[in-house]
Amino acid sequence: MRKIISHMVNSDPDLTVVGTAFDGVNALKRISQLEPDVITLDVNMPRMDGLATLKEIMKTNPMPVVMVSATTQEGAETTFQALRLGAVEYIAKPSGDISLDIGKVRDELVEKIKTAAQARIVTHEDGVCSPVQIKSGIQEKIIAIGASTGGPPAVEEILVNLPENTPPILIVQHMPVGFTESFAKRLDRICSFDVKEAEEGDAIQEGLALIAPGGQHMMVTETGRIRLSDGPPEHSVRPAVDPMMRTVAEVYGSETIGVILTGMGRDGSSGLKAIRDKGGKTIAQNEETCTVYGMPKAAIEDGNVDRVLPLYRIPHQIMKWC
Active site positions, annotated = 148, 174, 267
Provide the 3-class DSSP secondary structure of residue 226: strand
CA distance 264 to 112: 10
Amino acid found at 55: K
Cα-to-chain-centroid distance, residue 146: 8
Closest CA to 118 of 26, 206, 14: 14
* Sign, Cα dihedral of 200, 190, 287, 304: positive
Is 154:261 a contact under the CB 8 Å cutoff?
yes
234: which strand partners? 237
The 3-state secondary structure of 240-297 reads CHHHHHHHHHHHHHHHEEEEECCECCCCCHHHHHHHHHCCCEEEEECHHHCCCECHHH
> Over the range 193-210, which residues count as b (16 or more CB within 10 Å of their CB) and which as e?
bebebbeeebebebbbbb
d(C-alpha 11, C-alpha 75), whole Å = 27
C-beta of residue 243 within 8 angstroms of C-beta of residue 237: no
Rounded Cα distance, 239 and 305, in Å: 22
